[in-house]
Structure 1
Amino acid sequence: MNITIITVGKLKEKYLKEAINEYSKRLSKYCSLEIIEVADEKTPENASPKEEENIKLKEGLSILKHIKDNMYVIALDLKGKMISSEELAGFIEDRALSGNSHITFIIGGSLGISQEVLSRCHYKLCFSKMTFPHQLFRVMLLEQIYRSFRIIKGEPYHK
């Protein structure tokens, strides 16, 4: 199985890099993992809705350049469906069994994900109605993917 995470913005914090490295190492037992960072656009203070849409569009075009036809694309979106860890594991396993062995997760920037990217996605997933920093969210996503593989393999995991 191949997992790709396309995310807006560079990771700067050392403690988050260490967590991502740890989960990447753990995941190497279960899948091939690639994390792609695309540049985030600077958002001016008091940006108009039009300026915000243009920023999301630019970030979205950068994301779309990395999406290939054989990828099953999942957007992390506040309007997506909320599921349990067990349901995510089943979802990932179902994708693999149905021939979608390359799953790509999209983490947008601070303004969210452009409509162009959302239109390309097969599924929209919401972790919570709360807002999280997208850098921290990368760690949360990796942890849930790791947990999913542990569940799929019948290995112990924290409930």
Structure 2
Amino acid sequence: MKIGLISVGKLSQAFLRDGVAEYAGRLQRYISYNSHELKESKGGSKPDPKVIREQEGERILARVPDGAYLVVLDERGRNYGSEELAEFLGRHMLQGTGELVFAIGGAYGLSRAVKERANLQLSLSAMTLTHQMARLLLLEQLYRGFTILRNEPYHNR
């Protein structure tokens, strides 16, 4: 199985870039991982969030491989604890899922088309997170999930 991450927007702060690089490196010890960082749409002086979501959504969907299991991050999505996420990862590995792709929208979220294509809408928190912080938290949780599956001491049960 491969894991992919499609995210909108550059990481603007060094601590986020460092954290994402750290957890992406850790994750690659367990599984093939790749990421695509898409450019944010600009709306001019009066941005229309719906138009921006649609433009970014088209670019996200263009990056999702055919047959991939798509998980989108949305604050109204399903809540998994760390151990439930590990079980989810383990199930997909056992079922032979070829590619598990996670998508994080931009500042205005995800388009309806992206949500409709998704196999799962996942929430990292009931609180609203910046899309940049969501990327870091997701990678940490994916890494944690693999350490749980291997019964390694990173996750204190």
**TM bucket normalised to smaller:** over 0.9
1:78 to 75, 79, 83: 75
The 8 Å contact of residues 70 and 100 in structure 1, kept in 2 or not, is answered as no
CA shift, 1:44, in A, is 5.1
The 8 Å contact of residues 73 and 104 in structure 1, kept in 2 or not, is answered as yes
Q: Do residues 138 (structure 1) and 135 (structure 2) align?
A: yes
Deviation per residue, 1:61-90 (Å, 9 max, x gap): 010110111311001012211111000000
- Matched residue SS, 2:74: strand
CA shift, 1:158, in A, is 3.4
CA shift, 1:115, in A, is 0.5
User: Any stretches of 5+ residues in structure 2 without a counterpart?
Assistant: none
Question: What does residue 153 of structure 1 align with?
Answer: 150
- Matched residue SS, 2:63: coil
**In structure 1, how many angstroms separate the alpha carbons of the residues matched to 2:129 and 2:46?**
21
CA shift, 1:43, in A, is 4.1
**In structure 1, how many angstroms separate the alpha carbons of the residues matched to 2:44 and 2:86?**
39
Structure 1 letter corresponding to 2:58: L
Deviation per residue, 1:15-57 (Å, 9 max, x gap): 211111111111121011111011111245664xxx2211100
Scaled by the length of structure 2, the TM-score of the pair is 0.93
The 8 Å contact of residues 124 and 134 in structure 2, kept in 1 or not, is answered as no
Q: Over aligned residue pairs, what C-alpha RMSD do you find?
A: 1.4
- Matched residue SS, 1:37: strand
Structure 1 residues 5-154: aligned runs within 5 Å? 5-43=5-43, 47=47, 51-154=48-151
The 8 Å contact of residues 2 and 31 in structure 1, kept in 2 or not, is answered as yes
State the aligned residue count.
156
> Structure 1 segments of 4 or more deviating over 3 A?
43-47
57-66 or 94-103, which moves further after superposition? 94-103
User: Any stretches of 5+ residues in structure 1 without a counterpart?
Assistant: none
> Identity, % of aligned pairs?
39
Scaled by the length of structure 1, the TM-score of the pair is 0.92
